[in-house]
Amino acid sequence: MKSYDQIFLANRAWAQSLKSADKEYFQKMALGQTPKYFWIGCADSRVSETVVTKSQLGELFVHRNVANLVNENDTNLLASLRYAIDYLKVKHIVVAGHYSCGGVKAAYDGLEDPYITDWVSDIKSTLNANGKEIEAIEGDMNRIDRLAELSIMKQVDKLASMDLIKDAWARGQRLFIHGWIFDLSTGELNSLKEIHPDDMIQ
């Protein structure tokens, strides 16, 4: 047996258990999706959004990348965002980062890697812009965790300044933007920032 056969065995057992609770579970699932959330999360293996929020299939529309960054030139993010807002009509956009993030650490450490350095440069800018606050914190781990918080809040602000989202607000679409952080050491998800559509719809 190959080591990855376990993946397929687990999949069949999972599908079977859902089908025994509801014979038509997957036929119904195949008809379409109406998620209320668009989740922008980190690629980290320990922060699966569906697991940590105890969600079911169909509840979260997801985009993940290293260090949960909102890059206005990222066509992958833009296509997902467009589909989430204008086609699925999600109500909430969530930037969800986490403590002990390797991507944030790479920016903090000044890691030089041709495939990573440029991607995390936005976190480096956040570090430079908040140098005094970060330096006043004791210990690299705590500094990296504060940098993760600051970066999440910055991604929320970036979303709020994007045409895709401003246009939705201008049309009266009630779209909330959230900045959340997951604590790997406690399993708890907490809110850092929220932008409420009533404050943005004129």
Quickly list H helices, the chain.
Answer: 5-21, 25-29, 49-52, 75-82, 102-109, 121-129, 131-135, 140-160, 163-170, 197-200
Decide the pairing of beta strands 37-42 and 92-98: parallel
DSSP letter assigned to residue 176: E
44 is catalytic: yes
Site for Co ion in 95-114 (CB under 5 A): 101, 103
Nearer CB in complex with Co ion: 101/134: 101
- Cross-strand pairs, 193: 179
Q: Is position 98 annotated as part of the catalytic site?
A: yes
Cβ closest to Co ion, residue 85 vs residue 107: 107
Annotate each residue in 32-51 with x if it binds Co ion (CB under 5 A) or - if it does not, as one string. Answer: ----------x-x-------
Cβ-based nearer residue to Co ion, 38 or 182: 182
CB distance 104 to 190 below 8 Å: no
Q: Which of 5, 22, 44, 174 is catalytic?
A: 44
CB 115 within 8 A of CB 198: no
| Smallest separation (angstroms) from Co ion to the CB of 44 | 4
Active site residue 178: no
Answer yes or no: 46 catalytic: yes
| Catalytic residue (choose from 5, 86, 101, 118) | 101
Q: DSSP string of 65-87? A: ETT----TT-HHHHHHHHIIIII
Q: By CB under 5 A, what part of segment 117-156 binds Co ion?
A: none
Whole-angstrom distance, CA of residue 85 vs CA of residue 177: 12
Q: How many residues belong to the site for Co ion (CB under 5 A)? A: 4
Which residue, 106 or 195, has its beta carbon nearer to Co ion? 106
* Shortest distance (Å) from residue 42 CB to Co ion: 3
Residues that bind Co ion (CB under 5 A): 42, 44, 101, 103
Active-site amino acid positions: 42, 44, 46, 98, 101
